[in-house]
Structure 1
Amino acid sequence: MRALGGRGSRRARRVAVADRVIAGRAIVAGNAEGDALVTSDALSFWGGYDFHTGEIIDRRHPLAGVRAAGRILAVPFSKGSSSTTAVLVEAVRAGTAPAAILTTGVDAFFALASIVADVMYGKPFPVIALEPVDFASLRSGEQLRIELSGVIRRI
């Protein structure tokens, strides 16, 4: 925790406001609402995410067969290379991208995908970095609302 008005790191900050509020750091700001899809395993989007359907297709991933389209995907970080960006941008074009992505740190590939999707299609999605303890508190199926500031509310 950091004192108000104090100088601190630019990482996500944990704020003890209420159990229903998480203070994340907006890497790409935006609003989103939906049910959470949470995994503690990294996800490779190249060969692991079908941008035609929004389904996770990596057979070795715990979420294999689950659709992430329109949901708030909580994944600690991406696995692989810049192909993650290309797959996510195509998913945005196809309308099968997650509504937002929550991570445990700054993931350049997720952020770049959102920025490119905004430039190409006018459809960015929020990318929010969370402290590991806050990320660990998320549960699949819970309803979340993401605000421009990076605040996440359980609704």
Structure 2
Amino acid sequence: MEKVRMNCKVAVSGNVRAKLIYSRDSFCFWGGADPKTGEIRDDRSDCWKKNMAGQVFAFPFGKGSSGAGLVILEQVRLNCAPAALINVNSDPVILTGPLIAKHFYNKSIPVVNLSQEDYDKLNGAKEVEFYEDHDYIDVYY
């Protein structure tokens, strides 16, 4: 696999390497993701019916509900949360899920922000690796 390193702004740190689900669409966890399975159930999403459980989920920015962080927490509790999130602009409400998961469940869900240009380059990538103490990610094609 070809590896490309991309600089990022880290919102929540952690170490993980997982397969990537890439979306061009904004995303709302409340109603958009099944909190019991991790399946994307928003039929308007370009990732409809894909399962984010244990995957890196990339979507440019969040939309919608103030309950998004709670959906992520429920996914963590039920073992079907995404392994990490990549955005262009992370929504503070969505960030509450990964931040609180670290404290309540000792579960790290890294969240990073990329430039729009780098975000677009994720399309077609297979896996992404995050590092606890670095401001870059490695993307595998």
- Using structure 1 for the length normalisation, give the TM-score: 0.83
1:150 aligned to which of 120, 123, 135: 135
CA distance in 1, matches of 2:94, 2:14: 14
| Shift in Å, 1:81 | 2.1
Cross-structure match for 2:19? 35
2:117 aligned to which of 133, 150, 153: 133
Matched, 1:66 2:46: no
Matched, 1:83 2:34: no
- Using structure 2 for the length normalisation, give the TM-score: 0.91
Structure 1 segments unaligned to the other structure (5+ residues)? 1-18
Identity %: 31
Matched, 1:53 2:40: no
Amino acid at match of 2:139: R
> For this pair of structures, how many residues does the alignment match?
138
| Shift in Å, 1:87 | 0.3
Amino acid at match of 1:64: W
**Contact 1:78–1:110 (8 Å) recurs in 2:** yes
Structure 2 segments unaligned to the other structure (5+ residues)? none
Amino acid at match of 1:61: S
Q: Which runs of 4+ in 1 moved over 3 A?
A: none
Matched, 1:93 2:61: no
CA distance in 1, matches of 2:105, 2:6: 29
3-state SS of the aligned residue for 2:29? coil
CA distance in 1, matches of 2:96, 2:43: 26
CA distance in 1, matches of 2:89, 2:135: 13
**Contact 2:8–2:136 (8 Å) recurs in 1:** yes
Cross-structure match for 1:109? 93
